[in-house]
């Protein structure tokens, strides 16, 4: 009887783990989808990836895009490295099929520690961009390199490219 109970509990645990994993995976997938351009604004949202969350605002009008964002670096970076050697963010303009039309650098910083006053300047961006015809959505690309770790280990590179391929 105990063996039957144990099997049943194990089966329930396996099913629940599978359901939780599927839910987490579908949420992560939805967050990395292109952001549709909607005229007017401001529009708000969150772009989330493995190393960075961008809380963004944008206004789109007459082929002009004003976009700003607050950067929140993942704890795997902020807790294990003293800061960044370099970091940049691009806004990627995509057509209706998800193809890259244009990439525009909107943020570039180098050499700061998390607790410094430079860290607050490095944690946001604001840009005004011309939007090429046929642009249906945007996404964010980023690339960075941390400073060497406090335990004597070297820094690490991290990036996210939701739309690989250059115009």
* Average pLDDT score over residue span 110-139: 84
Distance in angstroms (rounded) separating the CA atoms of residues 100 and 28: 21
pLDDT recorded at residue 115: 72
Phi, psi torsion values for 127, nearest 5 degrees: -150, 150
The residue written with tokens 């670096």 in the block is 73
Distance in angstroms (rounded) separating the CA atoms of residues 69 and 48: 12
| Chain mean position to CA 94 | 16
* Average pLDDT score over residue span 92-101: 92
* Average pLDDT score over residue span 111-128: 77
**Structure tokens, 34:** 């292109």
Whether the link from the prior residue into 18 is cis, omega within 30° of 0, is no
pLDDT recorded at residue 83: 87
Least confident range of 60-74, 87-101, 152-166: 152-166
User: 13 versus 45: which is more confidently predicted?
Assistant: 45
The residue written with tokens 């629940």 in the block is 16
162 within 8 A of 114, measured Cβ to Cβ: no
pLDDT recorded at residue 155: 85
101 within 8 A of 134, measured Cβ to Cβ: yes
Confidence of residue 43 (pLDDT cuts 50, 70, 90): very high
Confidence of residue 111 (pLDDT cuts 50, 70, 90): confident
């Amino acid at each position: 009887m105990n063996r039957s109970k144990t099997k049943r509990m194990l089966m329930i645990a396996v099913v629940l783990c599978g359901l939780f994993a599927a839910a987490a995976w579908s949420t992560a997938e939805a967050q990395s989808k292109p952001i549709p351009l909607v005229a007017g604004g401001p529009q708000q949202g969150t772009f989330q990836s493995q190393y960075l969350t961008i809380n963004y605002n944008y206004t789109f009008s007459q082929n002009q895009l004003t976009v700003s964002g607050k950067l929140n670096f993942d704890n795997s970076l902020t807790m294990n490295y003293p800061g960044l050697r370099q970091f940049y963010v691009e806004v990627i303009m995509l057509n209706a099929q998800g193809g890259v039309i244009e990439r525009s650098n909107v943020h570039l910083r180098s050499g700061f520690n998390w607790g410094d006053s430079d860290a607050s300047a490095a944690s946001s961006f604001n840009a005004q961009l011309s939007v090429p015809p046929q642009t249906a959505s945007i996404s964010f690309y980023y690339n960075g390199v941390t400073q060497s770790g406090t335990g004597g280990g070297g820094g690490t590179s991290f990036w996210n490219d939701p739309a690989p391929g250059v115009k």
